[in-house]
Amino acid sequence: MSERRTIGRILTDVGRITEEDVALALAHQRDHGGYFGEALLACGLASQEELDWGLASQFDLPYVFPDADSVDPEAASLVSPEWALANLTLPILRTEHTLKVIVDSPLKTESVDELRHRTGLEVELALAGPSVIRDLVRQVYARAAAAEAAEEHQTPVELHEALDAVMLADSPRYGVSVRGARAYAWWDERGLIRRRPLAGDWRAALEKILIPGVAEMAGEAHRASWEGELNRAAGVMPVHIHFMADESGREYLFKPRKVGASLEERFPPPSDGIVTEVQLLARSGTARFIVVTEPAELGHEILPHLPSLLLDPAWRSIYVHAGEQLGEEEAFSLRMPADPATWPEEIEALRAFHFDVVTVDLSGGDRAWASNALDIASVAFLLWPAGEDAGPALRAGVRWQLEIERQADGGLGWSLGQLNG
């Protein structure tokens, strides 16, 4: 059996780096430690993609650039999104006897062995970069969720029911699309477009609550835009209205008008990628995070808002704390007694209420309350001081760390990663 070539030799053979580059990287490795590939990156001699390709070549594995459309849904369904993100391992094709799996490293023996044992199939590996796999996981499971939503929401609804869903989702845009005799309400729910066929005389219902209405502002015009409000029993919704019509149908578009500072203005949310990952973990039923902030005061301010910023605002959340801070209207707020020794018992009593999300802002004691807090809801955010040992959280079952930093320009820097003991 021939000796496996090194990354340096592979990249040299294809002309990507020179022998002088190899010597420079080796010198950097001697001075700073780490792997040879890391030295190539630090010296600017190779890109991460080239190193990934070299690693695949070293182990005689295909280096792939898959897209979500090419992933076999049956294969992907063999693992949860949390497992795929945690292991950076995703099954993409299942046949009668084999399972093709994308990994970010050929040394992923534990996750591959788990799949082989669970399915009884022969596992074939392909390599892709970590960022490629993370993006693929987001897309594949988001599409699966969208397909489930499409199946669930085909029953016609009255206009007021659709608007109730809009308010619960805190949608940034929503509307009605008309084609012939068919009319659909739609709304944007954190990047996922929900659609429901409309029942009844929705047009009369809209004219009744929209002030000023389409007939008054558009008349016979094919296009019109104005500011108004949807005046409903559940509350007034200030909106920007855009209307368009031609022989093919009609489009009504509504965008909320801001009245005062919005939650997103106070706390700029993270990238869509982080939001999607948190939601995937939440749907898996085991989304448990410690939250570390800089400065520390930011944690007390933002913690009760995390369910609304990252998840569905309709989820029932409870904010558990021991200070003078108050919860916001979207979360039930419960203040703990002054004695930390009583916290585990107090928290245990909350299990019976079956909340969807719990956010916990407690400090002091031996943190024995951490494992109890995770039993309150399947999704949990525990505020954790920067630099403090995360061992108690890890032992309690927390597997993810969410970091939030206030930046000089007033924005927020967000990062999500696995929790290491």
Find out whether 71 and 90 touch, Cβ atoms under 8 Å.
yes
The domain boundary, picked from 58, 76, 94, lies at: 58
| pLDDT value at residue 339 | 82
| pLDDT value at residue 415 | 95
278 plus 395 within the same structural domain = yes
Q: Write out 32-60 in H/E/C secondary structure.
A: HCCCHHHHHHHCCCCCHHHHHHHHHHHCC
Per-residue b or e along 384-414, where b marks 16 or more CB atoms closer than 10 Å to that residue's CB: beeeeebebbbebebbbbbbbebeeeeebeb
What does the pLDDT profile of the chain (421 residues) look like in tens digits?
Answer: 456 678 788 888 877 788 888 899 899 889 888 888 888 888 988 887 777 777 777 777 887 777 787 788 888 888 888 888 888 999 998 888 899 999 988 877 788 899 998 888 999 998 888 888 998 888 888 776 655 555 555 789 999 999 998 988 788 899 999 998 899 999 887 656 788 899 989 999 999 999 999 988 888 888 899 999 999 887 788 999 999 998 889 999 999 987 655 777 788 889 888 888 898 888 877 689 999 999 999 999 899 999 988 987 778 889 988 876 655 555 688 888 888 888 888 888 888 888 899 999 987 556 777 778 888 888 999 999 988 888 888 888 898 999 999 998 888 999 999 887 6
Is position 1 within any domain?
no
324 plus 241 within the same structural domain = no
N residues, the chain: 421
Is position 137 within any domain?
yes
276 plus 402 within the same structural domain = yes
CA distance 361 to 378: 17
203 plus 340 within the same structural domain = no
Q: Which candidate, 299, 340, 305, places its Cα nearest to that of 319?
A: 305
DSSP letter assigned to residue 68: G
- Helix axis angle for 272-284 and 130-152, nearest 10°, is 60
The domain boundary, picked from 238, 256, 274, lies at: 256
158 plus 212 within the same structural domain = yes
Is position 46 within any domain?
yes
| pLDDT value at residue 150 | 56
| pLDDT value at residue 365 | 55
| pLDDT value at residue 325 | 61
Is position 63 within any domain?
no
| pLDDT value at residue 1 | 40
The CATH number of the domain holding residue 233 is 3.30.450.90
Both structure tokens of 10: 């592979």
342 plus 393 within the same structural domain = yes
137 plus 201 within the same structural domain = no
Q: Is the peptide bond before 295 cis (omega within 30 degrees of 0)?
A: yes
| pLDDT value at residue 326 | 55
The CATH number of the domain holding residue 108 is 3.30.300.160
296 plus 247 within the same structural domain = no
The CATH number of the domain holding residue 282 is 3.40.50.300
Tell me the residue range of the domain where 336 lies.
263-418
Is position 76 within any domain?
yes
The domain boundary, picked from 120, 150, 180, lies at: 150
Distance of CA 54 to the CA centre of its chain: 31
CA distance 91 to 101: 4
Is position 2 within any domain?
no
Q: Number of structural domains, the chain?
A: 4
280 plus 403 within the same structural domain = yes
Q: What is each CA distance from 280 to 91, 286, 303, in whole angstroms? A: 17, 10, 20
CA distance 324 to 99: 54
176 plus 189 within the same structural domain = yes
210 plus 291 within the same structural domain = no
203 plus 322 within the same structural domain = no
Is position 207 within any domain?
yes
CA distance 35 to 418: 21
- For residue 19, what is the enclosing H or E element? helix 19-32
